[in-house]
Amino acid sequence: MKYRFIHDHQHLIDVKRLCAVLQISRSAYYSWHQSGSSMREQHNQVLLERISQIHQQSHGTYGSPRIWHALRQQGIRCSRKRIARLMNIHGIRAKMVRRFKVTTRSRSTQAVAPDLVQRQFMIHQPNHVWTSDITYIWTREGWVYLAVVLDMCSRMIVGWEPSSRLTAVTESFFHTLKTEHIYFHHYETRQNARTSIFEYIETFYNQQCLHSSLGNRSPMQFELQLTMT
């Protein structure tokens, strides 16, 4: 009986300390404790909400590795296996990408312009080397031709313009754009396509999209860190 009194007394002291640290009432603690919900389960629920939010912001393109990196950037520490397990349990997975067909390679063996880059693709400062290319996107109104300018250092899309006519890099970007975005949409009009491309490039790709080649940073994060060093 004496042992139980000591044990209950110590438990009460521990609960008081815990409630003081968490700044909650003892009644709230006991209400939570009696609900049977463990701390890990609650943490999993918070993680799941963050995972779902990041997955949605990525247009459904992020799998567990990039979601794990995004969570770390938000200051959330947990294992990759835990993220992958939660995603698997709740059916959260990256969209299946379709095969990207290269369409802009010339069959001619003659160069149409001098190769100023000389295949030196590792550029260490932004705004030193830009590359440009065009691709086309189908709408019910006809083709939309998209031209972009990409910074070789940060992968930032520094300029882009869709047009109904072909008057004109970056196929790696076009691969990402088409397999992660365009192929999952059917556009009624050219304006629909333009709005969709704007949202993808300006809101997601430049600002949020994590690149393994940039140390799992977005183009904007990468350029900002370079300018601060």
pLDDT single digits (tens) 37-70:
567 787 888 899 999 999 999 888 899 999 999 9
The pLDDT value recorded for residue 90 is 92
Containing domain of residue 171, as a range? 130-228
Residue 218 has pLDDT above 70, yes or no: yes
pLDDT at 40: 77
Alpha-carbon distances, residue 127 vs 133, 139, 151, 152 (angstroms): 17, 33, 6, 8
Mean pLDDT of 123-129: 76
> Highest mean pLDDT: which of 30-34, 79-83, 106-110?
79-83
Length of the chain: 229
Residues 173, 218, single domain; the answer is yes
**224 shares a domain with 139:** yes
- Please report how many Cα atoms fall inside a 13 Å half-sphere around the Cα of residue 70, on the Cβ side: 24
In this structure, of 28-37, 61-70, 171-180, 217-226, the range with the lowest mean pLDDT score is 28-37
Q: Is residue 123 part of a domain?
A: no
- The answer to whether position 115 is within a domain reads no
Q: Is 178 inside any structural domain?
A: yes
3 state SS of 214: helix
Closest CA to 214 of 167, 173, 157, 154: 154
102 located within any domain: no
Give the count of domains, the chain. 3
pTM, whole model, 2 decimals?
0.53
217 occurs within a structural domain: yes
Note whether 140 and 224 are same-domain residues: yes
pLDDT, residue 50, reads 92
Using DSSP's 3-state secondary structure scheme, residue 161 falls into: strand
Burial of 52 (0-12, 13-18, 19+ CB in 10 A): middle
Q: Is the pLDDT of residue 184 over 60?
A: yes
**Which of helix, strand or coil describes residue 173?**
helix
Strand order in the sheet with 142-151: 130-139, 142-151, 157-163
Quote the Cα angle for 126-229-153, to 5°. 20
SS3 69: helix
Q: What would the mean pLDDT of 136-162 be, rounded to a whole number?
A: 85
25 and 65 inside one domain? no
Q: What is the pLDDT of residues 79-105, one digit of tens each?
A: 999 999 999 999 998 876 555 555 545
Read off φ and ψ for residue 34, nearest 5 degrees: -75, -20
Band (pLDDT 50/70/90 cuts) for residue 6 is: very low
User: Same domain for 9 and 63?
Assistant: no
